[in-house]
Amino acid sequence: MRVSLVNNLKTAMLLGALFALLVWVGSFWGVQGMLIAGAVALVMNFTAWFASDRIAIAAMRGRPVDARSAPELFYLVQRLARRADLPMPRVYVCPQEAPNAFATGRNPRNAAVAVTRGALQLLNREELEGVLAHELAHIRNRDTLISAIAATVAGLFSMLANYMLYVGLLFGGGNRQHGNPLAMLGVVLLGALGAALIKATISRSREFVADADGAKIAGNPFGLASALRKLEALSRRVRLRNPNPAMNNMFIVEPFTGRTITELFATHPPTEKRIAALLGE
């Protein structure tokens, strides 16, 4: 319960930060720019709150499964959800070969768990159980909402950066900087930096908590520890075909999407440290 309250506070702070950052960027176009940015921020906050789970599933081309289409996966999730005292989440399989998994949803009653085809092929039953228990721990701790909102924030700033840079270089926009494209680029980079730091700060600590809680739900830490080793090793070689790298913080291990970010912006703590914490090493 305490973790949930903390995450609810973080969610409110993240939404407030999104609003403030957008208004700040809009201020470089004067009062009108601030008003437009504020309106966009309100729309984005509403979208992030109510539709971020559907956006995430759609981005990964998740296909819903049930007891008839994927009985082993469905009943495993159902058993673990009962053990975690959670409502049964929606279950999806994503067609990507890169092995990974994530959970999403604004609350436990509107939650979903998704695994990639690669993960289903790679992991044995005990390892898959550990991964699913980890994702259910995220749902129980209400990490899923803040994770999806963080992905929405980062994705928005990536899109905004591209748009503002294009407009600034093409038209010499920016009332305060008199059309200086370098100043425009500086504004965009600062905004993107802020979003990246917010996302990284929120994501990394919650993984240790979800690992520990997931081990309790599964009944032991060994399946999850083994799964993390396999997922980390293969994810370094198989690129995740994800159209939105801003979603990296949602997955159980950091996806390989080209490895252009530094450790400062990594959305997950090092996998070896997570395994050591799980096994009490």
pLDDT digits (tens, 9 = 90+) for 162-180: 665 565 554 554 444 444 5
H helical segments located in 60-180: 71-83, 117-122, 125-140, 143-171
Q: Which of 29-38, 209-218, 229-238 has maximum average pLDDT?
A: 209-218
pLDDT at 238: 78
pLDDT at 277: 95
Q: Is 104 in a helix, a strand, or coil?
A: strand
For the residues 237-244, what does the mean pLDDT come to? Answer: 68
Measure the CA–CA gap between 64 and 68, rounded to whole angstroms: 11
> pLDDT tens across 1-56, in order?
555 566 567 666 766 766 676 677 667 677 777 777 677 767 776 776 677 788 88
Q: Which of 23-27, 190-194, 218-222, 245-249 has maximum average pLDDT?
A: 218-222
Q: For strand 112-116 and strand 90-94, is the pairing parallel, antiparallel, or unpaired?
A: parallel
- Tell the residue number behind the tokens 């399946």, with chain if given: 223
For the residues 184-213, what does the mean pLDDT come to? Answer: 68
Q: What is the CA radius of gyration of the chain?
A: 20
Identify whether 263 is a catalytic site residue.
Answer: no
CB 42, CB 18: distance < 8 Å: no
Closest CA to 79 of 272, 280, 278, 218: 218
Query: What are the φ and ψ backbone dihedral angles of 221, each rounded to 5 degrees?
Result: -90, -5
Measure the CA–CA gap between 123 and 10, rounded to whole angstroms: 33
Tokens of 19: 């609003």
pLDDT at 155: 64
- Tell the residue number behind the tokens 């994705």, with chain if given: 155
> Quick one: DSSP state of residue 65?
E
For the residues 126-134, what does the mean pLDDT come to? Answer: 98
Report the predicted TM-score, pTM, of the whole model to 2 decimal places: 0.77
- What angle (nearest 5°) sits at the alpha carbon of residue 20, between those of residues 15 and 25? 130
Measure the CA–CA gap between 46 and 268, rounded to whole angstroms: 26
Measure the CA–CA gap between 39 and 107, rounded to whole angstroms: 26
Q: Which of 99-103, 257-261, 264-268 has maximum average pLDDT?
A: 99-103
In sequence order, what are the beta bridge partners of 91?
A: 65, 113
Q: Which of 127, 135, 207, 254 is catalytic?
A: 135
**76: phi > 0 → left, psi -120 to 50 → alpha, else beta; which?**
alpha
